[in-house]
Each structure stands twice: as C-alpha cells, then as structure tokens.
Structure 1
Amino acid sequence: MTLRIIADRDVCEGHGMCEATSHEYFELDDTATVVVINENPPDSERSFVQAAVDACPVSALKLVEE
C-alpha cells in the first residue's frame, strides 16, 4: 500500500500548522493556501506526516492508504 496526502484547498484557512509541523511535505502558497510538496510519503514518515495532518485546525488534510 502507498500513503497519500490529500489536501482540500477550499477548506484550508492558511493557519500554517502543517507547514510548521512538517515543512518537508507542506507549504503555504502566495495566497496562504496549503500546497502538498510530496503527496506520497514513505511509510517510515507516517507518524510525522500524521502529526501534521492532525495539527490542521480545520481538517483540510487527510493521510490515506491506497
């Protein structure tokens, strides 16, 4: 199975908690909306990425297995 990060850019409010927690995978663009830098993190990074997903105050991020 492959991990995939899903970001709902319409829900994102630009708080930046994901970027602060995991800047290797998330950044905010010029409009302060989340951009996923690498949508397929390795399983070894699961807990690190999940912490960033959980830090989103508006639940704009998901980590799914495909």
Structure 2
Amino acid sequence: MTGEQAVRCVEIIGPRMAVPIRYNDFSVFQSGLDDVKQAAEASTPETEFHYVSHGDEHRFRTTR
C-alpha cells in the first residue's frame, strides 16, 4: 500500500481521526510515513490525522 492508497482508504471509511502506525515495518510496504503525510495534506477528508513515531504513544479522546 502506498501513502496515497492509505489516505484513499481513510477517505472511503471517513473516520474522525486516523493514526498511521504501520508504515515501514515490512519490506513489502511501498512508501513510508512521509508519503502518507504528503497524500493527507493533498486530500480533503474531514479526518484529523495524528502522527506518531515508533515507540511513541497516542491517547485517544472520548467524545460524549
């Protein structure tokens, strides 16, 4: 999957938030996090993208 394909999946599903976490773990990946970021900036989804580095944590907020 490329970064462009990943962002297209997000556009189709339409979540409020996306946190790409599997972007360079395997040799079959076609692009890295920079490609995801670039594709996300060029797209127009309502989704808020959050980026974390390997080993970092992301805490999700609940919306009630």
Structure number with larger C-alpha Rg: 2
TM (normalized to structure 2)?
0.37
The structure with the greater share of residues assigned to helix is 2
The structure with the greater share of residues assigned to strand is 1
TM (normalized to structure 1)?
0.36
